[in-house]
Amino acid sequence: MTLGLDPQATALLLIDPQNWTLGMPIQPHPRHELVQRAAALIEALRSAGGTVILTRAAFSGGYADMLRTPVDVELRVPEGGIPAASLAFDDEIETAGYDVAITKRQWSAFYGTELDLQLRRRNIATVLIGGVMTNFGVESTARDAWQHNYSTIVVEDLCSSLADDMHRFSVEKILPRVARVRSLNNVLTNLPIA
């Protein structure tokens, strides 16, 4: 089934492809697979005239802008701060190139950022979403993309989480209600070549 992709109206939102998150023991797709797939999709989409947007999770000095509501499982961050090298995008993804970098301070790439503005001013109608973590940043961003009325496609084998069951539950039970879930191969097959 065709996805009806218009590359010039399509953006890849790659969620947190930074050394910090990619350095965690992610499943079911390990770092090297995600990075290779991301680079392939970036190259194909940019060659076809599409837009690539990378997000990174980061906080200001002293974590003044970090959420601090009471929760049962708190986000653990290094006391001395997150090292700059950990906040950097993976080298291979950085080399593949991108159009916009968005810094976010919570799971969703939409809340409190200029993402919606960047998409609308580029006349983007469809967003392809991949990255880490599937059931956190990817799912939250996909939910918000749906609520902002973007046609949303989650690239399943371009996503991973902290555990296989966390990834699977999101991909099988939640994301199909706000997006189309497809493989990288399916997306590449449906991407017209410029």
List the chain pLDDT tens, one digit each, 194 residues: 688 899 999 999 999 999 999 999 999 999 999 999 999 999 999 999 999 999 999 877 777 677 778 878 887 777 777 788 888 999 999 999 999 999 999 999 999 999 999 999 999 999 999 999 999 999 999 999 999 999 999 999 999 999 999 999 999 999 999 999 999 999 999 998 65
Domains plus CATH for the chain? 11-189 (3.40.50.850)
pLDDT at 182: 98
Measured CA to CA, the distance from residue 130 to residue 78 in angstroms comes to 26
- Structure confidence at residue 49 (pLDDT): 96
Comparing C-alpha atoms, which of 98, 108, 178, 94 is closest to residue 138?
Answer: 108
pLDDT of residue 194: 53
Nearest to 158 by CA among 190, 125, 186: 186
Q: Determine the pLDDT at residue 86.
A: 86
pLDDT at 193: 66
| Burial of 154 from C-beta contacts in 10 A (0-12 / 13-18 / 19+) | buried
Q: Which of 92, 96, 112 is nearest to 104 (CA)?
A: 112
> Do the strands 100-104 and 126-132 form a parallel or antiparallel pair, or are they unpaired?
unpaired
Whole-angstrom distance, CA of residue 99 vs CA of residue 46 = 9
CA–CA separation, 172 vs 149, rounded Å?
21
116/16 Cα distance (integer angstroms): 17
